[in-house]
Amino acid sequence: MYRLVLLLAAVAAAAILPVSALAGAIDIRITYRATDTATPKQLELHCSPPVHGSVPAPMTACRKLIAIGDQAFARPRPQTQACAQIFGGPQTVVVSGIYFGRPVWAKLSRVDGCAIARWKRVAFLFPKSA
């Protein structure tokens, strides 16, 4: 019973906290390339108040990243997932910085079905041409 009360209190506290309080641990830099030879485009997103950045719609981007949680940039496990061998495009992205309070470095591409799914999960961070 005591655990249930603690769990309910934690859920209530999380619901009361403003989104910006949870977002403070997101401070990322994005390097986008349309092709291997294209000049990289640098973008940033800072979710601590005031929310700002050069990604499209920074406030919305922060809300979406918080909703996805700490798995936004996680790699699929090749041992447990079959990936369709389809090519989605030459675009690549490197995300680095702090994400949910931890260092992050992730390279995303569109080389197969799994990579495309991973890309689409966070595509709102990239230029519209992506």
Dihedral sign for Cα atoms in the order 57, 97, 34, 107:
negative
Per-residue pLDDT at 15 exceeds 90: no
Q: Is the pLDDT of residue 25 over 60?
A: yes
**What torsion do the CA atoms of 96, 56, 64, 77 make, to the nearest 10 degrees?**
-40
Full-prediction pTM beyond 0.85? no
Average pLDDT over residues 119-125: 95
Determine the Cα–Cα distance for residues 130 and 122; give it in Å rounded to an integer.
11
27 has a pLDDT exceeding 60: yes
Average pLDDT along the chain: 82
So what's the pLDDT on residue 83? 82
